[in-house]
């Protein structure tokens, strides 16, 4: 019977954690930073979460685009279809790799940092001090970080895709000899805004919502110890990555199948 008790305890704990996460999310959504007081906090978090993630996103996007072009060219040239290199790379980045890889990089870099920062604030009783001064930590700490992550990731995904296409152009046109006009014209003819670009934006928005929600909740709900912060940071990266990949399949099935 001990295993039944342990299972029931785990189920109750998971339900309680889900309830706390939903309550925290509701509070963060209600506390949109206002232009007068909350906007400076939002700008500071946009720099920390978004701008400081630019380097890894740009470098990763560049090399992934270059690899896509190199591998795609070796396959397409065997069929005499090297003119399709541009749309192949663009569709791969806009539909899948841009939102997914940017979200994974964001979870590893910014998501873990958010969890560790909020967890450290909890461990050093900074959140309790705010409550003692009648300052809502959800409004002051959680909401700006949540909205900063929600805004930053779609922009980073767009930058990732754009840089990846430029990297593919460098390899395909300047190295492998694909005609530049053909590269861009065929890409423009094959890429649809509603079917490709807009669906990629929707994916990145969903991923931003999920990754940032997990990151701020894990930090806010972690045990106020160094071991608890470490476990919460690891859980943020693992759970965010798995949810991004799972949601990518679900969204792709909904968007691109009839």
**Residue 155 maps to a domain:** yes
pLDDT in tens, 34-49: 777 778 888 999 999 9
pLDDT in tens, 132-183: 887 778 888 888 899 999 999 999 999 999 999 999 999 988 888 888 888 8
| pLDDT mean across residues, the chain | 88
Arithmetic mean of pLDDT, 111-117 = 92
- For the chain, how many structural domains are there in total? 1
**Residue 141 maps to a domain:** yes
**Residue 5 maps to a domain:** no
pLDDT higher at 84 or 8: 84
**Residue 1 maps to a domain:** no
Arithmetic mean of pLDDT, 178-192 = 86
**pLDDT given at position 240:** 94
Q: Say if residue 212's pLDDT is above 90.
A: yes
**Residue 30 maps to a domain:** no
**pLDDT given at position 223:** 86
pLDDT higher at 20 or 1: 20
For the ranges 15-29, 131-145, 190-204, the one whose mean pLDDT is highest:
190-204
Range of the structural domain that residue 122 is part of: 48-256
**pLDDT given at position 1:** 61
**Residue 41 maps to a domain:** no
DSSP the chain: -HHHHHHHHHHHHHHHHHHHHHHHHHHHHH-PPPTTTHHHHHHHHHHHHTGGGHHHHHHHHHHHHHHHHHHHHHHHGGGT-GGGHHHHHHHIIIIIIHHHHHHHHHIIIIIHHHHHHHHHHHHTTHHHHHHHTT--HIIIIIHHHHHHHHHHHHHHHHHHHHHHHHHHHIIIIIIT---HHHHHHHHHHH--IIIIIHHHHHHHHHHHHHHHHHHHHHHHHS-SSHHHHHHHHHHHHHHHHHHHHHHHHHHHHHHH--
pLDDT in tens, 52-110: 999 999 999 999 999 999 998 888 888 888 888 888 999 999 999 999 999 999 999 99
**Residue 12 maps to a domain:** no
**Residue 160 maps to a domain:** yes
């Amino acid at each position: 019977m001990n295993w039944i008790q342990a299972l029931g305890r785990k189920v109750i704990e998971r339900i309680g954690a889900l309830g706390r996460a939903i309550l925290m999310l509701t509070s963060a959504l209600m506390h949109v930073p206002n232009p007068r007081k909350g906007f400076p906090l939002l700008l500071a978090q946009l720099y920390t979460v978004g701008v400081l993630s630019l380097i890894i996103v740009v470098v990763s996007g560049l090399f992934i685009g270059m690899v896509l072009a190199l591998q795609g060219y070796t396959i397409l040239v065997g069929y005499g279809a090297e003119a399709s290199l541009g749309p192949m790379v663009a569709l791969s980045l806009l539909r899948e790799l841009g939102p997914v890889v940017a979200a994974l990089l964001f979870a590893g870099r910014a998501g873990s940092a958010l969890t560790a920062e909020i967890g450290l604030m909890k461990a050093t009783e900074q959140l309790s001090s705010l409550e003692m001064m009648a300052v809502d930590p959800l409004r002051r700490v959680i909401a700006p970080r949540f909205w900063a992550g929600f805004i930053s990731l779609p922009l980073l995904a767009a930058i990732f895709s754009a840089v990846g296409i430029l990297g593919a152009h460098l390899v395909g046109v300047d190295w492998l000899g694909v005609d530049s006009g053909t590269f861009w014209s065929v890409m423009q003819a094959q890429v649809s805004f509603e079917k490709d670009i807009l669906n990629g934006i929707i994916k990145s928005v969903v991923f931003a919502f999920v990754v940032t929600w997990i990151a701020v909740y894990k930090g806010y709900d972690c045990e106020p110890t160094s071991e608890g912060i470490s476990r919460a940071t690891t859980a943020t990266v693992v759970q965010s990555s798995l949810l991004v990949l799972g949601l990518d399949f679900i969204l792709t099935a909904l968007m691109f199948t009839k």
